[in-house]
Structure 1
């Protein structure tokens, strides 16, 4: 057994101590955490230090990796005992990180395939989270345990899968010893999702996982998404299906599919011109989030509004239009950029002066037409899937997409490269599309 596997195994055992909170109460859990932290400060060398130390710990001669890991666990436990976060979410999150890490380290010793390592991590982490939640329910519920587990199993699976995907994504984009950050992020996400109280049955949750994982892997196999982009897409797709519905997912996946394929349009020509996406057009997590973050916030807003968690009594359908407006913007901007960039006569949107292909803020009439068509595709899909989207509503979605595309070009010509990066510009553009769509819907009283 190699050193990384041994260290991860010990950390997993320490994570199992989280069960002390439902078993003996917060006081027992705090006492165990204090013992581990004091012991970590006391051990500065020797075999035990070598067993528990991250490479960076040797420079300081302290087990700071273990200490910060336990402190993150304590912080999450404090949130659980002082807020509406359940102990099941707390325990499930801690076991998810601990045992997922063991599985990843063990697999890494046997293969160099990043996809295999990520897959094993997600499977074991999700299983550990489900077992941890079920064990906590068993400990705390007493009578009626079987009924409690049966009734909450769909939620446990949803939280376990969502947490595992987020953890795998963060582990891919952060440093390997950033597990405290990963743990807190996963715990907060699972807490939020539990508060939304999704009501799907277990077969529906499993079906959503199968659909999103299959499409995510296809995007990776076709080289339209990196591993991080694949994980981000799967997570966003799962949340969209469970919290919104398959109609919402179809709208979102239309962007990923058409946008991803458009990056392959005349790719060699774009590469020669210096305007092609990096990594053979495979989109990473930053690109996916820059284009889809507003959409997923709209899905969360829809779920929160439907669950009456938002003040003011907002019509949930308003979030549907905000969602469609943001996706229409992303589709419009992506097609405009990917198709318009192959034409060598772009003009700067602010002055209409000719500029070099690939210049931020440069537009072509061919790209503008492609962008309008992209917004119309999203509007047409929305019109066909959602009764709330009338012909007027579809027109509003097209208008919002075109406005968002224009905002993207204006930001590119004025702020990108100086104050904003590409992903920030994408985010602000999709946000503008969502806001414009929602405001136009309210103005035209489309919601009736």
Structure 2
């Protein structure tokens, strides 16, 4: 057994103590605080050798164990002070520790990023699910009626943790644990009507699409995890029609990235990493849509019609699709012009547009609108026109921002976010204006 596996197993054993919170939260908080305090004074011996990470050895202190223990004690305090669900607390702690243990075991056979990430995510998922079941059983709460919710929370938490760990350092594990706990806490307060079959299908479909995107090199590992998480939340909190709208962007947008890639590379407009989009790029294009889905799930507590969030969602995706197709297809044509002055510019210039790209962008927005009209009976032809206009408007905003502010402290991902936000606001605003979201 390697030192990495022994260390991961030791952390998992410590994390298992969090399950005692189902009986006495204050005791668990005190226990982990004590473990953290002791860890700071141990600088040698068997315990140090067992728990020390490479950075701990160089510093002569078990800072990793101390940070993990104090973070766990802090989460336990949230259970006592602000009613963080005990099941969520235990799930977040066990997910991180057992996910890491599984990852280290998987690395014995393969050190590939995709394999290690899959090992962490799968191990974390099962640990989070078991922790929730254990806590609920000890506390006498029903388990069987909420199995779909338990599975959804475990899957969401594992995907978020896997995503964060793929872009952060090992020393940031306490931040990962806190982020997972807060996200799951949010989800427990949302209205969900999902069956066992629904959640199994949702996970299978989203993981399948995510793997295909990675296998086709249209997404990196972080991009794949981000896309799977967004898709899962969209299916569970919105529904399959929402997912169809979202996946249309991922599919067509990803394929358009590969369109004449070598020519776009020569023109200086090709996506990096052979066109594989990372997590930041995926979030830049879909973060607004995710917020719209979350708001839709919480619409029974908001003074706004749920239709507003539907049009905001569709408008943001239409903007993302329109902008992506405009850039990826328009980028293979010469003689672009700056949108603000209409003067010829070099290919790859921010804010440069071609008429072919504009047509492609408008077509992308129209595709999203047609899918929405076909799948949502409440939208209708007028609603489809609203969504298409919102998408074209978002694409135009992206070009204007590219010509004016991009590159001066404002990156491409920020511009994408603002463009999709514009599409969402236009979609919701126009729908209210014409009486479709009253």
Do they superpose with TM above 0.5? yes
Q: Does 1:8 align with 2:16?
A: no
Partner SS for 2:214: helix
Match of 1:361 among 331, 344, 351: 351
TM-score by length of 1: 0.96
Partner SS for 2:407: coil
Match of 1:239 among 214, 233, 238: 233
Is 1:397–1:437's contact at 8 Å kept on the other side of the alignment? yes
Structure 1, residues 172-211: CA drift from partner, whole Å, max 9, x if none? 1111231101101111111111111312111110010011
Is 2:12–2:101's contact at 8 Å kept on the other side of the alignment? yes
Aligned counterpart, 2:199: 205
Query: Distance between the aligned counterparts of 1:288 and 1:183, measured in 2?
Result: 22
Aligned counterpart, 2:184: 190
Q: Which moved more, 1:374-383 or 1:5-14?
A: 5-14
Aligned counterpart, 2:399: 409
Distance 1:84 1:393, change over 3 A: farther
Is 1:100–1:124's contact at 8 Å kept on the other side of the alignment? yes
Alignment of 1:337-376 (within 5 A): 337-376=327-366
How far did residue 63 of structure 1 move? 1.4
Is 2:25–2:79's contact at 8 Å kept on the other side of the alignment? no
Q: How much is the aligned-residue C-alpha RMSD, in angstroms?
A: 1.2
Partner SS for 1:345: coil
Query: Distance between the aligned counterparts of 2:301 and 2:94, measured in 1?
Result: 29
- Give the unaligned 5+ runs of structure 2: none
Query: Distance between the aligned counterparts of 1:54 and 1:309, measured in 2?
Result: 46
Q: Does 1:385 align with 2:375?
A: yes
Aligned counterpart, 2:272: 278
- Give the unaligned 5+ runs of structure 1: none
Is 1:388–1:447's contact at 8 Å kept on the other side of the alignment? no
How far did residue 45 of structure 1 move? 2.3
Query: Distance between the aligned counterparts of 1:123 and 1:85, measured in 2?
Result: 24
Aligned counterpart, 2:20: 20
Query: Distance between the aligned counterparts of 1:58 and 1:35, measured in 2?
Result: 21
Query: Distance between the aligned counterparts of 1:66 and 1:197, measured in 2?
Result: 37
Query: Distance between the aligned counterparts of 1:175 and 1:441, measured in 2?
Result: 44
Paired residues, what number?
A: 438
Structure 1, residues 402-443: CA drift from partner, whole Å, max 9, x if none? 111011011111111112011000001100110111111111
Query: Distance between the aligned counterparts of 1:320 and 1:91, measured in 2?
Result: 34
Q: Does 1:420 align with 2:419?
A: no
Query: Distance between the aligned counterparts of 2:307 and 2:135, measured in 1?
Result: 37
Partner SS for 1:263: helix
Match of 1:173 among 156, 167, 178: 167
Query: Distance between the aligned counterparts of 2:403 and 2:70, measured in 1?
Result: 45
Moved over 4 A (4+): none
Aligned counterpart, 2:293: 299
